[in-house]
Amino acid sequence: MKITSAEVIDLRVPTSDDMLGSDPFHKAPDYSSAVLHLETDGGLRGVAVVFTVGAGTDWICHGIRDLAQLVVGTSLEDFSAAPLKLYRRLIDHHQLRWLHDGVFRMACGAIINAMWDLWAKSENKPLWKLLVDLEPEFVVACIDWRHLQDALSPDEALAILKTAKAHKVTREQEMSVLGPKAYCTAGWLGLSDEAILETVRKLQETGFDAFKLKVGQDLERDVARLQFLRDALGPDQSLMVDANQYWGVDEAKEHIEHYEPFGLKWVEEPIARDDVLGYLELSETFKGASFKFACGEQAASPVIFKQLLKSGGIGYCQIDAVRVAGVNDVMAIILMAAKFGVPVCPHGGGIALCNMIQHYGMWDQIAVSGHSDTQLVEYIDFLQDSVEHPVRTKSGHYVTPVAPGWGLEFNADFLADHTFPSGKIWRERPENRCGVHFECDLG
């Protein structure tokens, strides 16, 4: 099956109107996606997205369009024979690699993920099932070990996968209806306590018992809200907080020490996304606390994950489905987390991120760490009407996905209306609420 053409769509949703997704840095996000469609001569379409929060989606679209030239004309069979070949062709392109992580690695991820999508569709399997069925040796051969093997060697990775393989059939059966356990980020910064509680109560009725709250700007308000939510949840449900990198290391300590009474499960992104030594210092400072530190949604390279995991800087590993270079990078990170005993709790939300991370949760809990006692996969309860295969939850778990591939197909009307800047939603919007011109003071 040959890739015959590529289409890249800049899709943006004006979520800032309702302050959904807001945090101290991302004050008024418009949840967006650079959407890649790889068309083939075999009647299948490979789909991938890169999530962004509005402005800048066009930067990623530009990059994906450039890279897509390298896969048009290639065959799916070449890819599936050795996925690392395409990975290296992109990530180690001798000129493009100068662009570093960020936009470049995310654009590479789009191409790689669309190819994995095609492969899964060609076998009529959901992506998690394709991954679960791979031989351990094949998984190890998908990974770029160059900068990782001081933390996890290929042989160690093989041993982890082989150990899990012994229980794979049972685990797959156990997870055939209910997938990974979920938690919900209900406490967006821009929402009132009442609005947050309404979401929490609605989700509790469906079986959720784990919730996350945004914090950062105002200590007194944060503590009051934590008290309010802990009282509402009772002592047994899980409560987490997320500061989205708003603090420096010392400031983080000052804030976090006031959080100790609330029995938190984790404190997420207290400091800069790449401050490995800072995470280590915080973990040592709060060694006796109920919580550990979590990070990863903006960790832009497997090398940052390697350090956070092997040093003990984080206690929860929050892989993102589209920040690093696709399935190949994420497999490496999940394997490293397994070696160091750090539960993988993927970052969800955005547009269709949840559709993707449920597959990683399945693979981790069936074929790698082989259990699901400690992992929580993020779930966000909005924008699910944008896709043909919305994620579903039941009893506080993801319902195991069955659509072939990632299940990332967007509804055609939704795509057309939200294409930036030509879609109807954006044509009617004032310029100061669009793209780079939509500015917010950091305050």
| 117 near a copy of itself, rule: CB under 8 A | no
Residue whose CB is less far from a copy of itself, 46 or 435: 435
Q: At its nearest, how many Å lie between a copy of itself and the CB of residue 13?
A: 12
Distance separating alpha carbons of residues 403 and 426, to the nearest angstrom: 31
| 274 near a copy of itself, rule: CB under 8 A | yes
> Residue 37 catalytic?
no
Site pattern 360..379 for a copy of itself (x: CB under 8 A): --------------------
Q: How many CB atoms lie within 10 A of CB 136?
A: 17
Q: Are strands 32-40 and 316-317 parallel, antiparallel or unpaired?
A: unpaired
Residue whose CB is less far from a copy of itself, 21 or 180: 21
> Which of 19, 158, 195, 272 is in the footprint of a copy of itself by CB under 8 A?
272
Q: Is residue 69 classed as helix, strand or coil in its secondary structure?
A: coil
Backbone angles phi, psi at 166, to 5 degrees: -60, -30
Q: At its nearest, how many Å lie between a copy of itself and the CB of residue 310?
A: 7
> Which of 7, 250, 254, 260 is in the footprint of a copy of itself by CB under 8 A?
250
> Residue 347 catalytic?
yes
Residue whose CB is less far from a copy of itself, 168 or 310: 310
Q: Is residue 48 classed as helix, strand or coil in its secondary structure?
A: strand
| 317 near a copy of itself, rule: CB under 8 A | no
Question: Which one of 210-218, 219-227, 272-280, 380-388 is the stretch in contact with a copy of itself (CB under 8 A)?
Answer: 272-280
Tell me which residues in 37-66 interact with a copy of itself (CB under 8 A). 52-56, 58-60, 62-63, 66
Q: At its nearest, how many Å lie between a copy of itself and the CB of residue 318?
A: 15
DSSP codes joined into one string, 160-207 = HHHHHHTTHHHHHHHTSSEEEEEEEEEE-TTS-HHHHHHHHHHHHHTT
Distance separating alpha carbons of residues 226 and 240, to the nearest angstrom: 9
Question: Which one of 121-129, 241-249, 260-268, 368-376 is the stretch in contact with a copy of itself (CB under 8 A)?
Answer: 241-249
Tell me which residues in 10-29 interact with a copy of itself (CB under 8 A). 25-29
Site pattern 84..103 for a copy of itself (x: CB under 8 A): ----xx--xxxxxxxxxxxx
Q: At its nearest, how many Å lie between a copy of itself and the CB of residue 62?
A: 5
Supply angle C-alpha 160, 166, 170, rounded to 5: 120
Tell me which residues in 384-443 interact with a copy of itself (CB under 8 A). 435-440, 442
Tell me which residues in 284-303 interact with a copy of itself (CB under 8 A). 298, 300-301, 303
Question: Which one of 126-134, 186-194, 235-243, 245-253 is the stretch in contact with a copy of itself (CB under 8 A)?
Answer: 245-253
Q: Say if CB 332 and CB 304 are below 8 A apart.
A: no
Backbone angles phi, psi at 425, to 5 degrees: -60, -40
- What's the token pair of residue 131? 């991954």
Q: Which one of 214, 292, 306, 339 is the catalytic residue?
A: 214
Distance separating alpha carbons of residues 365 and 131, to the nearest angstrom: 12
Tell me which residues in 121-180 interact with a copy of itself (CB under 8 A). 145-150
End-to-end CA distance of the chain: give it in Å, rounded.
53
> Which of 277, 388, 411, 413 is in the footprint of a copy of itself by CB under 8 A?
277
- Binding-site size for a copy of itself (CB under 8 A) equals 74
Residue whose CB is less far from a copy of itself, 79 or 104: 104
Q: At its nearest, how many Å lie between a copy of itself and the CB of residue 71?
A: 11
| 104 near a copy of itself, rule: CB under 8 A | yes
Q: Is residue 91 classed as helix, strand or coil in its secondary structure?
A: helix
Distances (CA, A) of 54 to 21, 400, 436: 12, 30, 9
Sign of the C-alpha dihedral computed for residues 13, 16, 21 and 26 taken in this order: positive
Q: What is the DSSP letter of 113?
A: H
Residue whose CB is less far from a copy of itself, 58 or 172: 58
DSSP codes joined into one string, 283-334 = HHHTTTSS-EEEE-TT--SHHHHHHHHHTT--SEE--BSSSSSHHHHHHHHH
Residue whose CB is less far from a copy of itself, 195 or 272: 272
Single out the residue of 131, 10, 20, 6 nearest to residue 72, CA to CA: 6
Q: Which one of 347, 389, 397, 418 is the catalytic residue?
A: 347
The answer, yes or no, to whether the previous bond of 235 is cis (omega within 30 of 0) is no
> Which of 70, 158, 399, 416 is in the footprint of a copy of itself by CB under 8 A?
70
Catalytic (active-site) positions: 214, 347
